[in-house]
Structure 1
Amino acid sequence: MAELNFWWLMLLMFGLVMSLGWIGWRFFYGGAPATLAPMPRPAATPAPQPRLPRRPLWPELLAWRRRLNWHAIRWLLMAAAVVLLIILVTLQMAGYHVLRALSPQAYDRTQHIQLALKDEKLVPPPALPPSIFVSSERPSLAYADRDWSKLDPRFTQLVLTVIARMQERGYPIVLIEGYRSPERQDALADGDVHVTNARGGRSKHQYGLAADLAPMREGRIVLSERDPWAWEAYQALGEEAQAAGLVWGGGWSFKDYGHVEMKGPIAALTSGR
């Protein structure tokens, strides 16, 4: 369809250039009427004029052909060809008539994200109870904040879209921590377990622009990536997060496989608030 529209545009431009050239030659260059001589006054009693024989059409056509300025016509055709060539090269370089190929998987993800953000708002699931973290690998998560309302609405919809995609792929994902106060951020940075390098005020958790996720299997949260199934889940999480335009902590030098956050500096993301 794009190629068809392109050639129709070329045909239209060619017709326009040729029409303008013909009008210029007809009315401004070779078709100016000759100066008419003043008409004599008719006599009072005009004498009957003898009927002249009708001239054949072919000599008139030959005379019209001899009056044509073929040199000017060649220049007009060359100018039209140059204009069309410039238009063709410009469109080719700009890529306006070329539709880039999009893989089915990428198109499906893009369409899913657009539907989630524009046509309908995804509803966050209920927060996990603190008791589910007591017997987990990190009992301190029992005191983590899992209130979805404290997260940025744009970020919330992107995270919910990623969670929905993960569910479709067979990896249930839950929110284990969203907003994080500066005091808790400092406590985690100074803790015995190396959880984060950022101190209070320097993490996107403090601005509702980051979240920690984890896969859940048979009602239990699996935090460690050493589990083969959890490792596959975290890799899938990275794919879906990056497809949604988020930053995945698994791509950092300090690996944080369950961490996702908005892309961009904090100052730019919070400037409109």
Structure 2
Amino acid sequence: MTLYSGWDLTLIGILSIILFAAWQQEREDHIEEMAARSSLHPEVEKMKQEFVEQTAEQGIDVVITQGYRSKEQQNDLYAQGRSEEGSIVTYARGGESYHNYGLAVDFALRKNNGDVTWNTTYDGNDNGEADWQEAGDIAKRIGFEWGGDWQQFQDFSHLQWNPGVSVEALKDESQNK
């Protein structure tokens, strides 16, 4: 059995601290980069394309209706159904949505006649399953979180990618700018 000398343990400890500090700095840089975004994150852009292609292979025509959304645009949507006319479409204010950091997209379905629909029972590929459910399942396989699975406020048209950073951390970082 080999025993480590005091110097060996000290060296291991120092290296561990250096590696942890480097990892922490990289994580903070990553959060800062996402908080400053004004377009879709490259990974979300790639996932979005894959989503459109895979749904098309199943005979489902999806239309991306929104991606990155500014905090001002988010606040305008939040006002809908509250201080402005219309139905409530979001519970997230500016800075509280993954859209504000380029990590979310919204979509709709294009019917066979070319019209766009948000009807959650629509089955355009005539396979007996709602196209929204099929699209949501495809999105989840790609790595998105699907708003149709949410219990409090189902948002069938919403997809978001969580890279391991909470929207609260992104909001905090963007407010520090």
Is the shorter-chain TM-score for this pair beyond 0.5, marking a shared fold? yes
Q: 1:176 aligns with which of 51, 65, 87?
A: 65
Are the counterparts in 1 of residues 121 and 132 from structure 2 also a CA contact under 8 Å?
no
Q: Which runs of 5+ in 1 are unaligned?
A: 1-148
Aligned mates of 2:41, 2:139 — CA distance in 1: 16
| Per-residue deviation, 1:226 | 4.5
Aligned mates of 1:228, 1:173 — CA distance in 2: 13
Change in 2 beyond 3 A, CA 1:226/1:168: closer
Q: TM-score w.r.t. structure 1 length?
A: 0.41
Return the structure number with greater relative CO, CA threshold 8 A, min gap 6.
Answer: 2
Aligned mates of 2:94, 2:132 — CA distance in 1: 26
Aligned mates of 1:249, 1:207 — CA distance in 2: 17
SS in 1 for 2:130: helix
Show the counterpart of 2:31. none
Q: Which runs of 5+ in 2 are unaligned?
A: 1-37, 82-86
Superimposed CA distance per residue, residues 172-199 of structure 1 (whole angstroms, 9 cap, x where no aligned partner): 1111111111122112112121111110
Between structure 1 and structure 2, the one with the greater Rg is 1
Q: TM-score w.r.t. structure 2 length?
A: 0.62
Verify: 1:196 aligned to 2:90, yes or no: yes
Give the CA RMSD over aligned residues. 2.1
SS in 1 for 2:64: strand
Aligned mates of 2:53, 2:156 — CA distance in 1: 18
Aligned mates of 2:137, 2:50 — CA distance in 1: 13
**How many pairs were matched up?**
121
| Per-residue deviation, 1:168 | 0.2
Show the counterpart of 1:258. 157
1:229-244 equivalence runs, <5 A: 229=124, 232-244=130-142
Q: 1:159 aligns with which of 48, 55, 63?
A: 48
| Per-residue deviation, 1:159 | 1.3
Aligned mates of 2:122, 2:61 — CA distance in 1: 15
Superimposed CA distance per residue, residues 115-174 of structure 1 (whole angstroms, 9 cap, x where no aligned partner): xxxxxxxxxxxxxxxxxxxxxxxxxxxxxxxxxx92111111011111110000000111
Q: 1:225 aligns with which of 98, 102, 120?
A: 120
1:117-128 equivalence runs, <5 A: none
Are the counterparts in 1 of residues 145 and 160 from structure 2 also a CA contact under 8 Å?
yes
| Per-residue deviation, 1:255 | 0.7
SS in 1 for 2:68: coil
